[in-house]
Amino acid sequence: MRRLEILLLSGAAVMGSLFVFSILAARRIERLVPPQGDLVAFDGRRLHYLDKGAGPPVVLIHGLGGQIRNFNHLVDRLSRDFRVIAFDRPGSGYSSRRAGSPAGVQAQADALAGAIRALNLGRPVVVGHSLGGAVALGLTLDHPDCVGALALVAPLTQPMRKAPPGFEGLAIRSPLLRRLVYWTVATPAALLVRNWAAARVFAPETPPVDFARNGGGLLALRPGNIYAASEDMNAVSDDLAAMVSRYPSIRVPVGVLCGRDDPIIDPREHGERLKEEIPSLDLEFVPGGHMLPVTRPDATAAFIARMAAKVLPERKTERIASRQ
């Protein structure tokens, strides 16, 4: 009995130490990578967003475990001609998720629709990267008044049978076990393997040397963000399964940009199959992997401008085209 008590006390001490370390690490990360935008409040929620530039609105929705800094290079290019609004999805970056709020694609789309309406953006061009692509599709299906055109970049469009490479550690389905893991061992472990994990997500390209801070990579290592990313990943396929049959009803212009060598989301399964479901879709391939907004910002910005041109007045279209 004495030995068991010692083991339990030792285990509790270790877990407590890991919890304290995770909290302190999160605070240090927040000092290194502070918020760079504002908060929009609506329906009892608040989302963190960056608003830059002037002109027709373009909304950016990031992927799994990401946040608005993933779009920094892209925002710099697009804001020359557009008003660019990048949102931290609920639970990501500096956007909180309400207690008990669902984490699926539809819930995320509902939140972004509320933010778009609160900012009076009308029907912007909506850009979704990775999981953000699924959210952008959900936004179009459930809130068509909030979308003028879709520009999807390496998007998730179909249910996934297993976790993508580099995200296997998020595949914990039990909410209780998930909370225990992500508030104790997840942040220390993520800090140890962050370079290896970034290399997998960026493959076959190389992560920029400034991605941890300027690209916001460190923010994804905080306990709350890891927990929210796990919720997102475990919920997404259920919503996508119901969405796929509705894709043919989409009437706005849709474009998809894929990296030919994307190891995270198969461009054939998620790009070419979406074109079968939406025949009018513009499908483009470029050299590269999954993180095109970071590694191929010029090509990504040009793609978004081409999709925007489909819904812009002719004179504006000509001026933007001349800049590409």
Q: pLDDT tens across 198-246, in order?
A: 999 999 999 999 999 999 999 999 999 999 999 998 888 888 999 999 9
pLDDT of residue 265: 95
Single-letter amino acid, residue 25:
A
CB 103 within 8 A of CB 97: yes
User: Residue 270's closest CA among 247, 288, 253?
Assistant: 247
Mean pLDDT of the chain: 90
pLDDT number for residue 161: 81
45-52 and 57-61: which strand pairing? unpaired
Average pLDDT score over residue span 80-97:
95
* Average of per-residue pLDDT across 254-281: 95
Q: What is the three-class DSSP state of 282?
A: strand
pLDDT in tens, 21-34: 788 989 999 999 99
Mean pLDDT check: name the lowest of 91-100, 273-282, 290-299. Answer: 91-100
The tokens for 25 are: 């690490």
Q: Does the pLDDT value for residue 295 go beyond 60?
A: yes
Query: For residue 318, is pLDDT > 50?
Result: no
Structural domains in the chain, CATH included, are 33-161+236-323 (3.40.50.1820)
Q: Is the full-model pTM beyond 0.85?
A: yes
The whole-number pLDDT of residue 72 equals 95
192 vs 15 pLDDT, higher one: 192
Res. 321 pLDDT band, cuts 50 70 90: very low
CB-CB contact of 153 with 257 (8 Å): yes
